[in-house]
Amino acid sequence: MSEEAEVLFERRGGAGIITLNRPKALNALTLGMVRLIHPRLESWALDGDVRTVILEGAGERALCAGGDIRVLHDWGRAGDPRLMEFYREEYRLNRYIKRYPKPYVALMDGIDMGGGVGLSVHGSLRVATERLVFAMPETGIGLFPDVGGTFFLPRCPGATGMYLALTGERLRAADAIYAGIADIFVPGDRLEALKATLAEGATPEDVTAAFAADAGAAPLASLQEKIDRHFSAASLEAVLASLNEAADGGDAWAKATLATLAGKSPTSLLVTFSQMKAGAKLDFEACMQLEYRLTNRFMEGHDFYEGVRAVVIDKDQKPRWQPARLADVPRADIEKCFAPLSRGELSFE
C-alpha cells in the first residue's frame, strides 16, 4: 500500500498494526478510512496468527483529532447521502471495536478527540502518553458527544462525564486515567518497545506490568467535589444556577466554567444533558442507536453547520446559534431529537 494511503496496515509478529495516516490533517477520520479499518479488523479477528491489534496515529501531533467535519459540513449542505453513511458506518465500527474478540490496544499519543476517541476509548487497553490531549468538544460546534460518549461519559466518576460532555474540557494523561478514559500511562519514548513486546506475543496484562508508569497527580480529582456539587443537578438550568451562585460567592473555577458554557450551542447543551442522563441507563448498542437518532436530527438543523463555519471555515470563533439563548430553545424540540426514526434506525447486522 502506498505511503499516501489514509490508513496503513502492518503485520508484525503476532500484532496487526493500524496507523491512521493523515498527519497533516491530524489524522482526521474520513469515510474512506472507516471503510478500510472495519473489514481489516474483521479479517484479523479470523486470523489465528494475529493475537493483538494496535491502533496508532502517524506523526507526532495526534492519534486522531476527530471526524473530518469540514467534509461532513459540505456533504450536509449539498444533501450528499455520504453524510449519514459516514455516521452509520462510523458508529458500527465503534461498536465493533467495543466488542472486538481480541486485545485491541490504542496508543493515545497526542490529540485524541471526537471521532478519534471512538477508535480508542472502546479498546481493551488504552495507553496514554505525556502528549495526550483528550476532549469531546462537540457542544462547541453545535453537535453532541457521540462515538459512544453516551455510554462511556456517564460511567466516569461522579458527575465528571456530564462536566466533560457539556464543557468539552481537555484532559491530559493523569486526568484521562482518573476518569476511566485511559488505562495506563506510558512515556512516548517507550511506545516502540511496547509495540515490539506485543508483536512478540505479550498480553495487555504483560504490557501493563512492564510499561505502566506513574502519570502523576490528576487535577480533575481535586475538582471532583465541585464537579459533583454542580453537575449532578437535575436539569441544565439547575447546573447553571448552582454555578452562578458559586461564582457570585467568588469561586473562580465556577466563573470560568460558566464562561466556557456560554460559548456553546444552547441546543447542544440541552440535548447533551438529556443524552448523558439517558446513557447512564442504556447498554452500549442502545447508546449508539440513540446517537444515530440524534445525528440525523442535528444534520437537519442549523447549529452544526454554523459551528463548523465559525470554528473551521471562517475561523471567527463567533457562532450565531439559533436559538441563541437557552430560554428560547423549545423543550419539545429537544424531546423530538430523541424520538425513533421513521425509517433507517442504526442496526449492527
Q: Exactly one of 16, 110, 115, 148 is catalytic; which is it?
A: 115
Of 170, 169, 182, the closest CA to residue 215 belongs to 182
Q: Residue 93, Cβ neighbours under 10 Å: how many?
A: 22
Q: Does the pLDDT of residue 2 top 50, yes or no?
A: no
Sheet holding 7-12, edge to edge: 7-12, 15-20, 52-57, 104-108, 125-128, 184-185
Among candidate residues 100, 90, 92, 97, the one with its CA nearest the CA of residue 67: 90
Q: Give the architecture (CATH level 2) of 1-349.
A: Alpha-Beta Complex (3.90)
67 is catalytic: yes
Is 161 annotated as catalytic? Answer: no
Q: Mean of the per-residue pLDDT values for the chain?
A: 98
Which residues neighbour 286 within 8 Å (Cβ) at sequence distance 6 or greater?
none
Q: What is the mean pLDDT of residues 57-76?
A: 98
The terminus-to-terminus CA distance of the chain in angstroms comes to: 29
Beta strands in the chain (DSSP E): 7-12, 15-20, 52-57, 62-64, 104-108, 111-113, 125-128, 133-135, 184-185
Of the residues 16, 67, 110, 168, only one is catalytic, namely 67
Please pick, among 6, 56, 138, 169, the residue that the annotation labels catalytic. Answer: 138
**What's the pLDDT band for 3 if we cut at 50, 70, 90?**
low
Binning pLDDT at 50, 70 and 90, where does residue 1 land? Answer: very low
Concerning whether 180 is annotated as a catalytic residue, the answer is: no
Which of 146, 175, 183, 303 does the annotation list as catalytic? 146
Which three three-digit cell numbers place residue 174?
493523569
The answer, as to whether pTM is greater than 0.95, is yes
Q: Verify whether residue 115 is a known catalytic residue.
A: yes
Q: What is the pLDDT of residue 4?
A: 80
